[in-house]
Amino acid sequence: MKKISLMSLSLLIFVAGCSFFDKKEEKVAVNASTPLTATAKVIGANNESYGNAYLQEEDNGVMMTLALTGLPPGTHGIHIHEVGKCEPPKFESAGAHFNPTNKEHGKLNPNGYHLGDLPNLEIGEDGNVDLNFLAEGLTLQKDQPNSLLDSDGSAIVIHESADDYKTDPAGNSGARIACGAIQ
């Protein structure tokens, strides 16, 4: 009799345990908002890939992360341009600097600066760039005048020379050697 009782009790616990695991998972809504993000595949004049730029909305601008390889060593100007089009070899399709506030060029210009003005890139002998910086005043919110994702988009453009941070309209940074449409 004890064996039958123990077997019955064991069977009851087993069946109850199985039904516990059959319950459907309930989904709970969370009000946490995820930050807006975008990317840009950066290409060269011969359509070669240099890597990617990653963009993420922050409280006072857009955090940019560059993960690039194979660029020529040295100091290079980098800017946001007003059109999200990168047609090699000259990348003129990217238009002028992104400048929704109609300022002059350069962080050192007393009348400037464009929202598309960014810090120079220092590229080592290995041609690699792993860099994070905040581009203040920009947004990824589509309905804003300072949005990088407006109706015609925008692009990241790397120039052959350093930006002098003051000469209007482009800081004497030379030809465009790489471009990435922001999407």
Q: Give the amino acid at 25.
A: E
> Is the N-terminal amide bond of 145 cis, ω within 30° of 0?
no
176 is catalytic: yes
Known catalytic membership, residue 76: no
Of the candidates 46, 43, 40, the residue with the CA atom closest to the CA atom of residue 140: 40
Q: Which residue in the list 22, 79, 152, 168 is annotated as catalytic? A: 79
CB contact burial 78-113 (16+ within 10 A = b; e otherwise): bbbbbbbbbeeeebebbbebbbbeebbbbeebeebb
DSSP H stretches of helix in the chain:
2-21
Which of 22, 130, 143, 159 is catalytic? The answer is 159
Q: Which of 76, 81, 130, 163 is catalytic?
A: 81
Calpha distance 136→64 (Å, rounded): 10
**Catalytic residue from among 105, 150, 152, 168:** 105
97 flagged as catalytic: yes
Active-site option among 22, 59, 76, 97: 97
Which residue is catalytic, options 22, 59, 76, 114?
Answer: 114
Active site members: 79, 81, 97, 105, 114, 117, 159, 176
